[in-house]
Structure 1
Amino acid sequence: MAQERSEEAKGTTYGVLAYLIWGIFPLYFHLLEPAGAWEVLCHRILWTLVVCAIALAATRQTAFIADLRHNPRRLTMIAVASVAIAANWTIYVQAVVTGHVTQASLGYFLNPLFTVALGVLVLRERLRPLQIAAVFIGLAACIYLAVDDGKPPWIALSLALSFGTYGLLKNKIGGSLNALQSLSSETAVLAPVAAILLVILTVRGQTTFTGHGAGHSLLLISTGLATALPLLLFAAAASRVPLVSIGLMQFITPVLQLICGVTLLGEHLSTARWIGFGIVWIALVLLSIDALLSASRGRRLARAAEEAAI
């Protein structure tokens, strides 16, 4: 029991660290200026692949590559998932460099609601009453923000949809690959396209890698570690901490992004926008309560089963 608590404590630390790193990404990506979103995407893919290759070699986890080559269906799913996460990365960086960090944070607040909705629409999952209420309140928030702004919050919706789709595809792929193997596969699929795009940007004079000092070059190289590290921390947390705890931790990231946008990067949120965020938070509170109640029921049923077996 003491060992279990120790492992859960370590998992909580890993999870909080992962979400803290993701939460301060707006500040990190601002340091990459004047690199544009496409250049950042290319470097992020290529240097992440380098980090993953080193990690795979160090941990001797290369056998899965041969298995993937003989499983074209899974390889196709990984390729589609790679496109979804690449779209998410590009939209996010573009949002940061164009001063839309708060709308990006809204996208990650909406993501749990999109995930639930996709589960119903694609996986035919049945929703519990609180989940239904949360989804409809989230929809109401999107409509409210669209009416107030004169157009839908496209950045937030695109981020939520792309990441929700990525999660759905990962669900379809299954748990046969760990976090490192999965990230390695996805970046390997994207790497040829990223390399070609980087060459095109260089020929057009639209890259900044060599023209802004060694510090800027090192920052672009560091995107590989910045991408891989929080994902591996998250994987270490997910294997030690209950899913409900992981679900509650995920709100650290958009809260920090919102704080970064408003207090450090000078973005302004109107009263109407704060009201829209508030409506989304109500939906997330309901979703969290539902998750806690579901976990509590699960523990009671497990205890009952154990007692019946004695």
Structure 2
Amino acid sequence: MVISRRGVVAVLTANVLFGVIYLYGSFMQPMLGTDVFAWRMVSMLVALTALMFMLKAWPEAKAFIVRMNEKPVQWLLFLLSTAVVAVNFWIFMWGPVNGYGIDVALGYFLLPLTTILMALMVFGEKLNTWQKWAITFAAMGVGHELWVAQSLSWVAMLCCLSYPFYYGIRRHLAVPALVGLWLDLVLIAPVAMVYLLVYSDSFTLLAAQWKFIPLIVSLGIISALAMFGLLYAMRALPITLFSMLTYGEPILLFVLAILFMGAPLTIDAMMTYGMIWLGLSLMMWDSYLQMRKSTGTETLKTDEEDDDSVVVGSN
């Protein structure tokens, strides 16, 4: 298997950008969570279309569509995964402002573990010693959080179970990151616009407070870059490593909640995040060892025509 340095940078950058998006719920009040979601979908489509032109990705999009048309049944899987990610986009913006903030966070705690489980069962990835210890500590942290929460709501279940399904389908279909996300938004954004025109009064709010316009534009750009980085990393990295690195997002959300939203720093939270951080540190250490060992003994391999990848071994 191949570890891409660009893939590692992409997922870590995406974690930071998702942290910024997390704050947009408070930036854009008094908009409803669903209104923010709808504007995010529309503005993200505009930003992704511009990115498609900048990167000259249209031939890749055409080639992907032609390949999918050779087996039209594959479009059913693609459309199903689009519906899944649309629901997750909505939950991420709707949950925190409707009393489900803890449930969303808990779902994202569980998400890397459910994704790793998919990698082991579906894609046959193997764990070395360092990775086993890393996942053990992360699982202990999540288990502690579950014990504190004393429940697992439908929101948390949706967050942790649906994304592995989405990642698995996209990996199976070999969907190019930018092209696949752009097609998702082509399908989602029109529905979002209908909602804004028919069911929302946010246009009235925009007319009264122009500050929301730059917020909406920046939300689309940041969201496009974050999702592109995440999907790029999902294809460029082993799923196990990718999943553990996504723990950077809930850790960052925890810090932001304390710094900007007045969340208390409790002993329980410190225990949960401490064990997860230890697991993440072990996974990063393992990746460093593998890349260092491979540099002198293996020919560098590439993913998506770059030369920043190294072969991963196992202990």
What TM bracket, shorter-length normalisation? 0.7 to 0.9
Q: Comparing 188-197 with 157-166, which one deviates more in the overlay?
A: 157-166
Q: Is the 8 A contact 1:19 1:250 kept in 2?
A: yes
| Greater fraction of residues in helix | 1
Aligned to 1:62: 58
Residue identity in the other structure for 1:263: L
Aligned to 2:179: 181
Aligned to 1:75: 75
CA distance in 2, matches of 1:146, 1:245: 23
Aligned to 1:308: none
Counterpart check, 1:277 vs 2:277: no
Counterpart check, 1:126 vs 2:120: no
Aligned length: 290
Q: Is the 8 A contact 2:22 2:253 kept in 1?
A: yes
Give the 3 Å change call, closer, same or farther, for CA 100–301 of structure 1 in structure 2.
farther
CA distance in 2, matches of 1:74, 1:290: 36
TM-score by length of 2: 0.72
Post-superposition shift, 1:39?
1.7
Counterpart check, 1:191 vs 2:189: yes
TM-score by length of 1: 0.73
Compute the RMSD of aligned alpha carbons: 4.0
2:258 pairs with one of 242, 245, 262: 262
Give the 3 Å change call, closer, same or farther, for CA 191–235 of structure 1 in structure 2.
closer
Give the 3 Å change call, closer, same or farther, for CA 243–112 of structure 1 in structure 2.
closer
Q: Comparing 238-247 with 119-128, which one deviates more in the overlay?
A: 238-247
2:199 pairs with one of 198, 201, 204: 201
Counterpart check, 1:210 vs 2:204: yes
Aligned to 1:166: 166
CA distance in 2, matches of 1:227, 1:181: 15
Give runs of aligned pairs for residues 1-310 of structure 1, distance below 5 A.
17-57=13-53, 59-63=55-59, 64-65=61-62, 66-67=65-66, 70-71=69-70, 72-98=72-98, 104=104, 107-108=107-108, 110-152=110-152, 158-174=158-174, 177=176, 179-202=177-200, 207-211=201-205, 212-232=208-228, 250=246, 252-299=248-295, 301-302=297-298
Post-superposition shift, 1:106?
5.6
SS in 2 for 1:126: coil
Structure 1: stretches of 5+ with no match in the other structure? 1-7, 305-310
